[in-house]
Structures are given as C-alpha cells and as structure tokens.
Structure 1
Amino acid sequence: MSVRLVHYSDIENACDDPVRMGQLAGTIQSIHGEDTVVAGTGDNTAPGVLAHYCEGRQALPFFRAVSTDVETVGNHDFDFGTAPILDVISESPQEWIVANVTDGDSESGCSPGIAELDGTTVLHRDGQLVGFVGVIDPATPRIAPTGASELTVTSPVESVRTALSELSQTVDQFVVLAHLRSDFETAVAAVDGVDVVLGGHVHRERHEIVDGTLVVRPGANGQVVWEVELFDGNRPPMATRHSTAEGPIDESMADTTREQLADVDLLETVATVDDPIYRDIDRRTRGESRVGNLVADAYRWAADADVAFVHNGGLREGRPLSGEVTAGEMASVNPFRGKVEALHVSGDQLRTLLDAAFRPHRDDGRLWHGDISGMTVEYDTEAGRLVSVAVNDQPIEAGREYRIATSSYVVYSDDWPIPRETTVDSFGPPFKTVADYARQEGLTVQVDGRLREC
C-alpha cells in the first residue's frame, strides 16, 4: 500500500498566464487518484498582476480544479493584509494549517483568524494515516509587504517537534509543509520522525535526502509538480518530478484565467519583440540582463530621474517576452503594488546603495541583487568591491545630488541603505509602470555594458 503526495508551491504569477495555469492544473489532474493528497506550500495566492485586482481570489478556481487537500500559508499570501487571505481560506476546498503563528501579547494586534488555524491535520489514504504540520518562515512579519507585520511567528523547528510528539503515536507517516528558507527547511528535515518535507518559498528546485528525510521543492511559477510516494513499512519515500510544460492542459482552467485577465483589461497587446527577453533567475541574478535593464529603464522613465535602481528579488520568472506582448505579461515581470519612488541622494549615498547590491545569497548563490539605469558600474568579483561608478558616462561625484528612481520596498525596507530624511516623489505601481513603459517606448532593450565585472 502507498500514499501519493502531489505537491505544488509558489504559483505566484503563473496565475497571470492561461497556458501555464492550464498545464499546471492538467498535470496535477493527470496524476490525481484516490490514493493522493494534493498539497500546497504557500505563496499560491500572490504575488502576481491578477492578485492585485482580486486580492488572492484569482487562485480559487485553481484550488477547486485540482481539489487541493491541505495547504500552508506563505509570506506573499499576506500581500493584501490578513482579511483577504482569511476570505480565500474560508472559500477554498483545502484545509489550511500553520503551527508556528501565535496570538502574541495583547498589544500585538495579530489577527486571531490566522493564529487560530490548526497547526496539524491527519488524512487517511489507502489504509494509512498521514500527519501534516505547516510551518512558515520566522522572517514573514518583516518580509511580507503589508499584511504580516503584526504576526508573531515562532520557531518552525520547535513547532515540528511539538507536532511530532502529539501525532507520532497515531500516524503512519509524518509530512512537513514548509514555507521556509533553505537552512530552516534543512533543520526541520533533521528532526527525528519526519518522513518528508514539502518545501516552498525559495525559487529553486530541491530534491535531496537530509538525515534520511526526503526534501523536495518545486521552485516557482507552476513549472514543476512533485509526486511523492509514501510506502507502508520501512521502504523510503520516492519522488517523481513532473514538468508542467510537458503535461496535459486543462482547457477549462486556461479559459478561466483568460476571462479573469480580460475582465481587468490585461490582454491588450502593448508591444512586440522579435528577440525574446528571457526572465529566468540565473540570467537576472548573475549580472546584467535584458529584463533587469528593462525594468530599471522603466523606473527611470516614469520618474524622470538621473538614475534608477531595482532590487531584482522583485522580478519574477515566466515564459520569455516574445512576439506580441500583452499588458498582463509585461506587468507580471515586476508584479508588486507599492510605488515607483524618486528621491535625491548624494554620490556617496548612491555608491553605498550599489555596494549593498553585491552580496552572496544563502539560498541561491546570487551575487548581484540590483538592476540599474543611467549608470555604469564596474565591480571586482574576486576582491568583492566596487571599482567605479559613472552616471551618464561621468564619474560619480561624492557630494553631488542625484535623482534616483526605485521601489517603495528599497526606500522603506531596512535591508537597503536609503536615507530616510529625503523627500520622496511617488509615481505609479511597479507592475503598471513596466507595462506603460513598454506601451510607450517598446521592447528594444539590450545588454549594453552598464554592469561590468573586472
């Protein structure tokens, strides 16, 4: 006897692509059976362009189409506040679980609706009882754009241990639904008694055995589904990877997504491009990329600024921009609300910001975390330092004032060294800015040597 887990995560802006949503739903449906549990591990209601218009409800037809059984929340599920995600939870077919969110103290303001979700559940399939616990990243109150700042998130490792102590005598298998960064994901996998960790949050795939525990992660945007078979007895779990691009398409799901996009005027063609603009994470986080240049140029254009800086963690993967490109496809490149902001900084402050963009990332090895416009930057990768910065081909002047365009996240986040005392001019949201720029200026962007390694 065996139980099969069908695992998706971090759908995000796949909800803006009818083909991807149809293929994702079709792939899951093709491997669904009476012995399956369909499980999601967060960030499946946001971010994305439709998400801004629907506040996460655009995901409901997908949840129903694939008959999701169990899910945990992710940081982006709070993008529009606590109330919208609670509405989605109340209307979706699956049971939502999260064990490491608490009410906190009486002054925290944490919504009891999230804290009162069950942390665990037990499902019966093919003669086996499978226990599930959901845990989210402790950084969620800091990294969720708006809706999670008042959540109290405790240790995922301790929450998993507590759940195991409560369920270990009654279940045959124990599975963690983990919306965690990689080191926490590894730590919960090392807890004695965990059979499988279904991961999310990090946008790179994972298939690994950690201390005898199977860990799988599908990456982002509905491109991969994992099928995990849990066997009765001592036989270890087995994982099969399914590429949704190679799977069948659920035409009904694709049509539903098209209707959702049409309802908010996102199917309009705004530009054409002959040379496809690729959006994969390796291209845009290892140095200069066309898609990064495109977004940075759009910010500078919108704010009429000297320079622009874009945190490339806010850019999202998807199919290449090719041929006739719609407003929805353009907006999905940088699908966040907030604002494009313009402020004045000194040359020294600008250099400090650029220096902060060069740092290794613990989860995916990224080196370069920013995209730029109006500047040329040289960086010594071996020494780990900036060599030179020029603005409009002129060496940067320490005391000179420059007008810089960037996002609300960069301006107001503690992660970036932006002076808080500076007056800020606000423009449209990033997702609309990028679409408007393509409509007005076209998509002729190239890699032009603005970021150079030496």
Structure 2
Amino acid sequence: MSLNRKFKRLLASSLAVGLISSQFAMPSFAAPNEDAKKTGPKDATFNLSLMHTNDTHARLDNVAKRVTAIKEVRQEKPNALLLDAGDVFSGTLFFNEFKGQADLEFMNLVGYDLMTFGNHEFDLGSSPEGHEALANFVKNANFPFVSTNIDFSNDDHLKGLFHDKTKNNAKDSNIYSGVVKKVNGEKVGFIGLTTEETAEISSPEGIVFENYIKEAEEAVKALEHRGINKIVAITHLGFDDNPAYDNDLELAKHVEGIDVIVGGHSHTQLNNAVVVSTDERGKAKDPTVIVQAYQYSEFLGTLDVEFNKKGQVIGQAGQLINISAKREDPEAAELLKKYSSKIEELKNKPTGGIAEKALMNPRTNDVGPSVRNSETELGNLITDGMLDKAKIFNENTLIAFQNGGGIRAPIDQGEITFGDVLTTLPFGNTLASIKLSGTEIKSALEHSVSQAPKESGGFLHVSGLKFTYDSTKPAGNRVVSMDVETSEGVFTPLDLQKEYVVATNAFTAKGGDGFTVFRKAYEEGRVTDLGFSDWENLRDYVAKLVNVNPQIEKRIVDVTRP
C-alpha cells in the first residue's frame, strides 16, 4: 500500500516508447536572465524553485538528515517551496504507535508548504476510529492540503476540513481543491490528485475518488480563468503506473496547462526531470515537467523551472539529493529521541523465533526477483503462518493467499522481534477465510499474475498450493496448472468444480487490489473474519517454528522464465 506498490520501471523504459524527453535547454539559475534585464519587464522570465518528497511511509530514522538537506537548499534558495506528494502514513512502528503525528512534527519543524494525499493516508478507514487519525494529522499541520479529485463529504471526520474552492490565502490545517501561492510576486496555482485505485488498495470507506483527468481539466481552466498561467500538480498517481487507472505520463498528455507534476505512488527514482511535450495524439504541446523522488525519504527532490511571460516552461533543472550523505540536524535529532525511545522497547521484544538467514523483500530496483512478481522465502513464511492459524478455526482450510503489496520489509538474520514482524506487516489486516470454487481460485490466480513480469501489489504469495503460468500469454489466460496440497506433501490437481476454504487477509478478502472475485464472495456472505491481525499470525508462527528457515519451493513458476 499499497506503500501501495511499485519501485518499478526505470526511466529508460519510458524513454524507449518515445513519449518523453529528459533533455531540455535552460539558462543558468545562478542569476536572473540577462536578456530580461536589458529588455525590461515585458520579456522577463520567472524562476520557480521547488523541493519535494513522496512515499516517506513513516521512515523517520533518517529524518534529521532530511531536515539538514532542506535547510541547505533553503539557504541557497530562500523562496523554494517544499511539497509532499503523499503516503506519509503506514510502514513503520513510528506510524503504528503515533498515527502520523511523529512525522507531522518534523514536517512542521522544517516548514512544508503544501501536501496532497496518498492512498495510504486512508489505511485506517475501516478501523473503529475511521479517519480520525487522518483528520488529526490535517488539524495539527502547519500547512494546507490540496486535493482536487476527492469527495470528503460523506466522512464525518474530514468533511468539515475540506473546502471545495481554490484559495489565494490557504489556511493551515485545511484542505482545498486548489491553492494559489504568490512566489516572488507571481501567482502559482496548485492542484492535488490521488489515484482512484485507492478505493481498491486502501480502506477509504465513504470517501469517493473522482476521475483525475476530468477534475484536473476543470481545475486548470478555473485557475487560467483567474489569470494564473503557471500551474503545478502535486500527484499521487504513479509516474508510469497502470494507465487503466491513472498516471503522470497520461495526465501530462491529456491535460493542457499543467506545467509541473510533482509525483508519488510508484516510488520512481527520476534522477533527472522528465519533460512531456506531445499530447495524447502525438501533437506538440507546451512542455510539462515531471519529477519524483523515489521512496522512504532516501532523497530530497529539487526542481528549478523557468517560465516565459506567457507561463510556458522554457527551461528546467531537477536533481535528487542523497539524504544519507548529510549530517543530522541537531535539533531534529534531539526531537526524534522522544519518539524513538517510546518504540524501542516494543521493537526489541522477542517473538521467540530465530531467522537462520536474512529473509529478503526485494523490489524491481533491487537485485533479483520482486515480492510483487515472484515467489519469495518471506512470502512463503507469511502464508504458511496464515494457513496454520486458519486451520485452528477450520481444519478444512487448504490454501492461503497474501498480496505482495502488503509485505513491506525484510527480516534480518537472528532473533525475530515484535518490531520485525510489525515492520514487515504494518497494516494490521485481520485474517479471513473465504469459501471459493476452484474456478474462482483460478480467476484469482489469473488476476495475480496479470501484470507479470511487471510488479503488482496484488501478486499473490501462496501456501497449500502450487501453480504455473505463462507470462507471454494474454492476461486472463496465463495459468497453466494448479495443484492443491490435500495432505502433507501430497498435491492433486485443483478441481474447478469443488469448493475450497481459503485464508487471506481481510483487505484482500473484501476485494482489495482489484480482486473482484473475492469482493463477490464477500458480498455473498462467503467471507468470515477470524480476527487475528496479520502481524500476530506471523509472530505466533515464528514462535512456533523457533528456527525459521523457509525455502523457495517452486510454488509459483513462470514457465517462460529460467
């Protein structure tokens, strides 16, 4: 949660399709344009400096270094704006314990100017408290939020904080559909967009996500009607994510008038800004500059954009600043202690299990397979634990599924602590059982591998089942064979007509990650919530094993890959 979903697809893959260009001439930003000095204000250009973060996911161990990096940029460019493209929530013990307030204290300390919402900001919607934590996050923020395509009107916690208007002097602790900021005497318009897929990959409950292109077009027109010709979209759509939902490349092509997209969601490392200069028909358009700063506060993104008098981008320079290379800011480092000390005891509490080796959680930017496209030892361990727990409630449970997007961190070799399991499975999803036909299981497996070998948060890790598929075949017709473990070590072909009891997490059981086959079963009353949270299941299972040493067992095999 999805953090979400995708540390995927390098810039080169996008360049290969000929849609974008990362080279764009621009004058130096060391001094004002010399020609503008000679010709006067009529031909003057305008320089906008931005800093940006995205998908920090409550990673606060390096926050003091992030503060240093921000201060250094501000010292050089005091008018630079600091933006966040969402997914501050979920991912570490800092979030489990403080529900975003720890992150917020540092955001307030360093002076963020504006933020939009990521999908994980809505993870707590199905809890008894609903979106209370998100509302408190907004209320305590010393900056405003911009959200153009979200309808908050059905949520009691958030509806009073949202203003469906574009505001010139946006107040802190409020949400607006559009924000106008004055920078160096020039007005700059901001809109905010969150992926519609949030409805499937998080728990927004009554909150509605509207079409990003339609809402962006209307917002841009409204800004232009007010005479604003420099427009920035802060987005949580993904750089090159599934276009069937939304992504930044599609936004840049379809919506005329957006000059800059500060993105998040796909965890994409854009070392240089990307420029889109053709529309959806391939015709030339005014340039749109896209940036994104990877994940987990590992980088601080910076962007300098030069506009001509008409508000057209005539130059840009963007880079990522490596946070790890910075020294810790003393004030921030001291402030962190009050949070880190409170979770230290919980982090270090042993489960009773010992990992005989490091259990990796790779992504496509790492070496080797990804947790979102391949069987992993950690995925096998988690699903084995789910199945073991589910059998206590119903001994006829034969299969367990865990979505790869819900596995968030590796487990180091040695003693396994509460902190380890909570960081690996941070969402607190409860265990559920579903009654499914063999045909429905096949449908779920087809959806699981529909994007392979590309990453998908809905890629299912399995226990009690082995299956093969062919990633070269059309999506929906990829599964080749399926065998279920009917007794220990004995596998028989899955019977498409037979009913099976399957264990999974409640998020997936309700249709998360686009599993319509599970949603149908849920709506028909075939899902039983068993109550135990995912991290508790893993905690109990590793304690039961004591010596934890899962293996790759060819549970999931792409017949086209070596």
TM-score by length of 1: 0.86
Q: Secondary structure at the match of 1:426?
A: strand
Deviation at 1:227, TM superposition (A): 0.9
Q: 1:367 to 1:167 in 2, by over 3 A?
A: closer
Q: Give the corresponding residue for 2:431.
A: 340
Q: 1:367 to 1:405 in 2, by over 3 A?
A: closer
| Residue 261 (1) aligns with residue 310 (2) | no
Q: Give the corresponding residue for 1:215.
A: 290
Gaps of 5+ in 1: none
Q: Give the corresponding residue for 1:244.
A: 323
Deviation at 1:309, TM superposition (A): 0.7
Q: 1:92 to 1:445 in 2, by over 3 A?
A: same
Q: Give the corresponding residue for 2:478.
A: 385
AA aligned to 1:82 is: H
Deviation at 1:330, TM superposition (A): 2.2
Q: Secondary structure at the match of 1:158?
A: helix
Deviation per residue, 1:101-122 (Å, 9 max, x gap)? 3466xx8979523542222223
Deviation per residue, 1:2-27 (Å, 9 max, x gap)? 44211111222525xx2x44444444
Q: 1:180 to 1:129 in 2, by over 3 A?
A: same
Q: 1:187 to 1:423 in 2, by over 3 A?
A: closer
Q: 1:173 aligns with which of 226, 230, 240?
A: 230
Q: 1:50 touches 1:260 (CA, 8 Å); kept in 2?
A: no
| Residue 196 (1) aligns with residue 260 (2) | yes
Q: Give the corresponding residue for 1:138.
A: 196
Q: Give the corresponding residue for 1:410.
A: 508
Deviation at 1:175, TM superposition (A): 1.0
Q: 1:294 aligns with which of 375, 381, 386?
A: 381
Q: Give the corresponding residue for 1:186.
A: 249
For residues 191 and 527 of structure 2, what CA distance do their matches in structure 1 show? 46
Deviation per residue, 1:309-350 (Å, 9 max, x gap)? 11112222x466345553223222222123111344444443
406-415 or 201-210, larger mean C-alpha shift: 201-210
Deviation at 1:62, TM superposition (A): 2.6
Q: 1:179 touches 1:201 (CA, 8 Å); kept in 2?
A: yes
Q: Give the corresponding residue for 1:162.
A: 218
Which structure has the larger Rg over C-alpha atoms? 2
Deviation per residue, 1:80-127 (Å, 9 max, x gap)? 2333212111111221111223466xx897952354222222334455
Q: Give the corresponding residue for 1:89.
A: 138
Q: Give the corresponding residue for 2:280.
A: none
Q: 2:541 aligns with which of 437, 441, 449?
A: 437
Q: Give the corresponding residue for 1:28.
A: 70
Deviation at 1:397, TM superposition (A): 4.3
Q: Give the corresponding residue for 1:396.
A: 493
Aligned residues: 444
Q: 1:28 to 1:297 in 2, by over 3 A?
A: farther
Q: 1:231 touches 1:237 (CA, 8 Å); kept in 2?
A: yes
Deviation at 1:178, TM superposition (A): 0.8
For residues 68 and 417 of structure 2, what CA distance do their matches in structure 1 show? 24
For residues 501 and 214 of structure 2, what CA distance do their matches in structure 1 show? 47
Q: 1:21 touches 1:257 (CA, 8 Å); kept in 2?
A: no
| Residue 328 (1) aligns with residue 419 (2) | yes
Q: Secondary structure at the match of 2:374?
A: coil
AA aligned to 1:79 is: D
Deviation at 1:200, TM superposition (A): 1.5
For residues 436 and 28 of structure 1, what CA distance do their matches in structure 2 show? 42
Aligned-residue identity in percent: 19
Q: 1:343 touches 1:422 (CA, 8 Å); kept in 2?
A: yes
Q: 1:230 aligns with which of 305, 312, 322?
A: 305
The CA RMSD measured in Å over matched residues stands at 3.1
Q: 1:12 to 1:361 in 2, by over 3 A?
A: farther
Q: Secondary structure at the match of 1:255?
A: helix
Q: 1:196 to 1:164 in 2, by over 3 A?
A: same
TM-score by length of 2: 0.70
Deviation per residue, 1:145-194 (Å, 9 max, x gap)? 1xx33223333333333333343465573211112244432233233332
Q: Secondary structure at the match of 1:353?
A: helix
233-242 or 246-255, larger mean C-alpha shift: 246-255
320-329 or 188-197, larger mean C-alpha shift: 320-329
For residues 427 and 149 of structure 1, what CA distance do their matches in structure 2 show? 19
Q: Give the corresponding residue for 2:553.
A: 448
Q: 1:131 to 1:30 in 2, by over 3 A?
A: same
